[in-house]
Amino acid sequence: MKLIIFDIDGTLVYSNKVDSQCFADTYEEVYGLPFPTIDWRQYPAVSDTTIFDAVIQQHFQRRPDRSEMEAFCEHFVAKIEEKRRDVPEEFKEVPGARQTIDHLREREDCMLGIATGGWERPARVKLQHVGISLDTIFFSGADGHWTRENIIESVVTPAKRAHGGIEKVIYIGDAIWDVTTTRNLGMDFVGVRREHDKEVLLSAGASHVIPNYEDFGIFWSAIEESQPPSN
């Protein structure tokens, strides 16, 4: 039995640039201050929770409480929904993603998870836009979590509790921090990158990188052969 866990942004949905700008625009509207940068590599742990926390500390020398974070998230979700209506073409499915998820659901040798550095509410908006349902999928987002390792473990633990026969866990992601996180966890990893830039993840230690899910045979071979990223 395999547990296959997907990231969302850049892995199932191409919405990173719009998403990032929505986050920054929401912050500027709510707080009236310029958002420092949408280069997420500059922030710890690269999740909505840690990014928001870091910027609040930078501007106000304090940490946000849960109610403040939830209020910001509500504005952020509204902004994403607005953009989804205005420029739906910016929220594209990674080719073959939905069909692959649907196919994997039907296999008796697979369980599915989604572990994202984004908060749950905006994640659901993006998945719904490309027709991916969370039914029968173990899900964890950044809500209440401070590390990406903890986000992934919050999928693995209940999945293993539900099915004791899981022998292989594979995380599928598109970013350098996905390589780092799975290396820290000693977890098998498959990268997803648009064509011609797979070296970004290969040079970071990924053993297998695919451009999309259009060829299920290539995807499944990568799953079967996957291993933790090298140092």
* 47-68 pLDDT per residue, tens: 999 999 999 999 999 999 999 9
What is the model's pLDDT at position 123? 94
- 64's tokens: 């946000």
Total domains in the chain come to 2
Q: Is residue 59 in a domain?
A: yes
What is the model's pLDDT at position 212? 96
DSSP H helical segments within the chain, as ranges?
Answer: 16-31, 48-60, 66-86, 97-106, 120-129, 148-162, 176-185, 199-202, 216-225
Same domain, 134 and 120: yes
- pTM: predicted TM-score of the whole model, two decimal places: 0.94
Could you read off the pLDDT of 16-30 as tens digits, one per residue? 688 999 999 999 999
In the predicted model, is pLDDT for residue 43 greater than 90?
no
Q: Is residue 175 in a domain?
A: yes
Same domain, 38 and 108: no
Q: Summarize the confidence of residues 208-212 as an average pLDDT.
A: 96
Residue identified by tokens 């109610």 is: 67
Q: Is residue 155 in a domain?
A: yes
Q: Summarize the confidence of residues 30-43 as an average pLDDT.
A: 93
Same domain, 9 and 41: no
The residue range of the domain holding 29 is 16-89
What is the model's pLDDT at position 141? 96
Residue that terminates a domain, selected from 89, 118, 138: 89
Element spanning 139, H or E: strand 137-140
In the predicted model, is pLDDT for residue 166 greater than 90?
yes
Residue identified by tokens 């929904």 is: 81
Q: Summarize the confidence of residues 119-131 as an average pLDDT.
A: 93
Same domain, 99 and 153: yes
Question: Residue 51's domain is classified under what CATH number?
Answer: 1.10.150
What is the model's pLDDT at position 41? 85
User: Would you place residue 231 in the very low, low, confident or very high pLDDT band (cuts 50, 70, 90)?
Assistant: confident
Q: Is residue 230 in a domain?
A: no
What is the model's pLDDT at position 91? 84
Q: Is residue 111 in a domain?
A: yes
What is the model's pLDDT at position 84? 87
Q: Is residue 231 in a domain?
A: no
Same domain, 54 and 118: no
Q: Is residue 106 in a domain?
A: yes
Residue that terminates a domain, selected from 32, 55, 89: 89
**β-pair type (92-93, 13-14):** antiparallel
Q: Is residue 64 in a domain?
A: yes
Same domain, 73 and 25: yes
Contacts of 126 (CB under 8 A, 6+ apart): 8, 9, 13, 15, 19, 80, 91
In the predicted model, is pLDDT for residue 196 greater than 90?
no
b or e along 135-170 (b: 16 or more beta carbons within 10 Å of the residue's beta carbon)?
eebbbbbbbebebbbbbbbbbbeebbeeeeebeebb
User: Would you place residue 217 in the very low, low, confident or very high pLDDT band (cuts 50, 70, 90)?
Assistant: very high
Same domain, 114 and 221: yes
What is the model's pLDDT at position 15? 79
Question: Residue 173's domain is classified under what CATH number?
Answer: 3.40.50.1000
Q: Summarize the confidence of residues 1-6 as an average pLDDT.
A: 97
Q: Summarize the confidence of residues 121-146 as an average pLDDT.
A: 93
